[in-house]
């Protein structure tokens, strides 16, 4: 997960494969997140993502972009989200194999 505070930072992050991810999971509403996902076992796997409240109520689907090789990426601007806790649920499905993960994060004013 990478944090960009403006359009230039986001552009730089999206082209820099050596960028260092953030450890923090508290973000400002002015931040824009770039989430990179490696899909190792089957690069042809279908990857989906959904944004949910901390209680698990799905708010919306999130677009997952194809990247080079086995990489996928998610562009998640936080400006439209209210302050609070959220979950990003990610599912990779290749037909015979399914992997799921959840990223928890907080949006602050």
pLDDT in tens, 1-27: 999 999 999 999 888 888 899 999 999
User: Which one, of 51, 33, 35, 48, lies nearest residue 93 by Cα?
Assistant: 48
Identify the residue whose tokens are 């824009």. 32
Would you state the pLDDT for residue 69? 72
Q: How many domains does the chain have?
A: 1
Domain that holds residue 54: 2-108
Question: Which residues, given as ranges, of the chain have pLDDT below 50?
Answer: none
Would you state the pLDDT for residue 3? 94
Where residue 14 sits, what CATH number does that domain have?
2.60.40.10
Would you state the pLDDT for residue 18? 85
Please report, for residues 12, 18, 29, 82, 102, the alpha-carbon distance to residue 37 in angstroms, rounded to integers and kept in the order given.
Answer: 18, 14, 23, 25, 12
Beta carbons of 37 and 64 less than 8 angstroms apart: yes
Identify the residue whose tokens are 């919306």. 60
10 Å CB burial of residue 33 (0-12, 13-18, 19+) is buried
pTM for the model: 0.86
């Amino acid at each position: 997960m990478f944090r960009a505070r403006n359009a230039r930072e986001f552009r730089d992050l999206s082209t820099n494969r050596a960028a260092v991810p953030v450890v923090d999971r508290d973000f400002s509403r002015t931040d824009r997140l770039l989430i990179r996902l490696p899909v190792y076992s089957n690069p042809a796997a279908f990857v989906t993502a959904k944004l949910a409240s901390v209680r698990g109520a799905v708010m919306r689907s999130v677009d997952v972009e194809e990247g080079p090789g086995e990489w996928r990426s998610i562009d998640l601007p936080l400006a439209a989200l209210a302050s609070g806790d959220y979950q990003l649920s990610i599912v990779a499905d290749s037909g015979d194999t399914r992997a799921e993960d959840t990223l928890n994060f907080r949006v602050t004013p």
